[in-house]
C-alpha cells in the first residue's frame, strides 16, 4: 500500500517531465552527425537570413529542468541535442551540465548559458533573448 501511495504521488511529476520531452518536435533534435551543418545556420540553397542558432544540450536525467521556452525565442533557430548520444559535441564545447544553451553566430560559439550545481538554468527567457538580439545586431555590421 505504501509503495502504491508513493507511486501515485510521483506519477504527475513523471508525466509532466515526459510531456516536455515529447513536445519537442523531431526536427529540433540534432546529433553529432548533423551538428556542424545545423549550427552553421544558413544553407546554401536557402533564402533564410537567420545566422543565429541556439542549441540546448539536454540530458534525460534532468529533463524536468529542460529549457521549455524554446518556442518563445525570436530571430533564432533552435535545436536540442541529447548529450548521452552526442559525445563529440559534448566534448568539443565542454558541456558539463545540462541544460546548457549555446548561441552560435555564423557557426561560431557566441554565448553560453550553463545550469548551476542545482542543475537549473539561472538565466530567464528575457536574458537569453537579449543575447540573441545582440548577436543579430552584431551580424548587421
Q: What is the tens place of the pLDDT at every residue in 100-127? A: 999 999 999 999 999 999 999 999 999 9
Average pLDDT over residues 79-88: 95
What is the residue extent of each domain of the chain?
Answer: 2-139
Q: Quick count: other Cβ atoms within 10 Å of Cβ 81?
A: 26
User: What CATH architecture does domain 2-139 belong to?
Assistant: 3-Layer(aba) Sandwich (3.40)
Q: Which three cell numbers stand for residue 106?
A: 555564423
Supply the pLDDT for residue 1: 65
Residue 24, C-alpha cell as written in the block? 519537442
Beta-strand runs (E) in 8-51: 29-30
Amino acid at each position: 500500500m505504501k509503495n502504491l501511495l508513493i507511486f501515485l504521488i510521483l506519477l504527475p511529476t513523471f508525466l509532466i517531465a515526459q510531456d516536455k520531452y515529447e513536445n519537442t518536435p523531431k526536427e529540433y533534435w540534432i546529433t553529432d552527425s548533423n551538428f556542424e551543418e545545423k549550427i552553421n545556420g544558413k544553407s546554401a540553397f536557402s533564402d533564410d537570413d537567420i545566422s543565429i542558432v541556439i542549441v540546448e544540450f539536454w540530458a534525460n536525467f534532468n529533463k524536468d529542468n529542460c529549457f521549455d521556452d524554446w518556442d518563445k525565442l525570436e530571430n533564432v533557430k533552435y535545436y536540442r541535442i541529447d548529450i548521452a548520444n552526442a559525445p563529440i559535441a559534448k566534448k568539443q564545447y565542454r558541456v558539463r551540465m545540462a541544460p546548457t544553451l549555446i548561441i552560435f553566430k555564423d557557426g561560431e560559439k557566441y554565448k553560453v548559458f550553463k545550469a548551476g550545481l542545482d542543475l537549473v538554468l539561472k538565466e530567464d527567457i528575457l536574458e537569453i533573448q537579449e543575447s540573441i538580439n545582440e548577436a543579430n545586431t552584431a551580424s548587421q555590421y
